[in-house]
Amino acid sequence: MRLTADIAQDNIVHLPDKSVPDKTVTAGKATIANNEKLPANKIVAPQQRLETLKKHFDEKTLKRMGVVECTTCATRTYQDESDDSGVSFQSPTRLSPERASSAVRNHEQEHVVREQASAEKENKEIVSQSVQIFRSTCPECGTSYVSGGVTRTTTSEKKQMQAEAYQGPIQEKTIGNLVDYSL
């Protein structure tokens, strides 16, 4: 017999062997192809479903399916390691793998905005800014999650505008300045 699990509808059904071709089962509907009722012993009782799944799947697969909670993902925390005290995640914060992506991107955007404001305040020009988001895989359940990010900002002193640098016509004698006399 084969085991089919339909987690969304919380049904587990034992499918008959292929030696009986006219009987097929659809998980979730519990019907047989020739409109016979499914025998009662083919549906796993709700209190036995987890044990039945544990017989047929390894622990990592059950965690990935969401049947068993992954303790690593449940206890993962995020904390800012920069010296910027005005951004989020100053204390360890728990996030689900689903929420971590948007939370880390928003956190790194806070760094971008604060660096831009700091450069403007110090009369500097931003040469480049980049944000890098890192992904990892949970060793316990195999789920991919956002593990952190880095914001890099490069600034330089502002260059004077050309209108301010232009001081009018040169007053000194310019005749002969472009001639090389050492022939």
What does pLDDT average to over the chain? 75
* Domain membership of residue 46 as a residue range: 2-56
The answer to whether 73 and 140 are in contact (CB under 8 A) is yes
Collapse the DSSP code of 38 into the 3-class scheme (helix H, G, I; strand E, B; otherwise coil) and give the result: coil
146 and 90 within one domain: yes
For residue 177, is it within any domain?
Answer: no
- Residue 20 banded pLDDT, cuts 50, 70, 90: very low
> 19 lies in a domain?
yes
Q: Are residues 153 and 86 in the same domain?
A: yes
Q: Would you say residue 63 lies in a domain?
A: no
Same domain? For 89 and 33 the reply is: no
pLDDT in tens, 102-160: 999 999 999 999 999 999 999 899 999 999 999 999 888 888 999 999 999 999 988 76
Query: How many domains does the chain contain in total?
Result: 2
Residues 46/10, Cβ–Cβ less than 8 Å: yes
Q: How far is 31 from 39, CA to CA, in rounded Å? A: 10
pTM of the model: 0.58
CB distance 87 to 78 below 8 Å: no
